Amino acid sequence: MRTISFIFASLVTMLAQASFAQDVQKQTVNEDLRARLPEEIRTAGKITAVNNGSFPPYEIVTGTELSGATRDISDAIGQLLGVEVDHASVAGLPALLSGINAGRYQFAMGPVGDYPDRQKSNDFIDWVREYVVFAVEKGNPQDITSLDTACGKRIAVMSGGSAEKVIKQQAQKCTEGGKPAVEVQSFTDQPSSILAVRSKRSDAFFSSQAPLTYFVEQAKGQLELSGVGQANGFKDIYQGAVVKKGSPLGGVLLDAFKILMKNGTYAAVMKKWGLEKNMIDAPGINQGQ
């Protein structure tokens, strides 16, 4: 019975994957873009993109397999450039950025938060807009609705991320105001952070709204979002692909995104993964402020 169930589940998965493949049109090689690639990439016929673990629904890492909106976008860009896109995973955002700058990886498709301090070492090709909110236990028993209400609470964040910086600043504000400090709990990946909330080791996870929405849906009523529709310490947040500062690959990726936005592929991928609210009208470089 288990064997039959497994075969059936596998068949459903294969059919779903085939259906998804039909949803996103295949691209033809753009020779002008391909000619602009660094020679070593053209010669190798492949390029390596790095991620720092699951960031659903953009990046869903299962073993050595990557799925999600980022995978669909990177496949389309690989087709445009006439190269194969390989994917590598590292632990944490600092390792991702340092790996790109050291030349171990050519780029990250992300999306990774684009901020002025990061622009000093890297260029960001922005392709989504994001918001930062809280994921809390259903019913929000700790009444965490804003940064000010996080004082004295255990808040999970991604290590090295922008949310970690904001919540640490809030911890200082809490103590300066005579309130208990935020207990900042830093994790290297999204699943570990959300698990801490589900197991009640953390009172909330402070992170990007798109992946938190995904995790809340997967939690089947155990979690909910809080702090939606407000700044939560951030200005307009752009996220995108990342390359080494000054890399010619940045301009190539920018123009590749322009093509995908013009021919409808970008919209198809974003809608497929429920990311319509994160779409932007045009890509840009280093738009974060």
> Residue 23: its pLDDT value, please?
67
Rounded CA separation 104/244 (Å)? 11
| Per-residue model confidence as pLDDT tens digits over 67-96 | 999 999 999 999 999 999 999 999 989 999
| Per-residue model confidence as pLDDT tens digits over 124-159 | 999 999 999 999 999 999 999 999 999 999 999 999
Q: Which one-letter DSSP state was computed for residue 185?
A: E
Rounded CA separation 54/94 (Å)? 15
Q: Which domains does the chain have, with CATH numbers?
A: 2-130+236-285 (3.40.190.10), 132-226 (3.40.190.10)
> Residue 178: its pLDDT value, please?
98
> Residue 11: its pLDDT value, please?
31
Nearest CA-CA partner of 124 in 92, 100, 95, 89 = 100
**What is the average pLDDT across 178-206?**
97
Instruction: For the chain, report the end-to-end CA distance as a whole number of angstroms.
Output: 56
Q: Note the pTM of the prediction, 2 decimals.
A: 0.81
- Per the CB < 8 A criterion, the answer to whether 179 and 150 are in contact is no
Cα within 13 Å of Cα(169), Cβ side: 9
| Per-residue model confidence as pLDDT tens digits over 160-173 | 999 999 999 999 99
User: Under 8 Å CB-to-CB from 243, ≥6 apart: which residues?
Assistant: 100, 106, 107, 122, 123, 125, 249, 250, 253
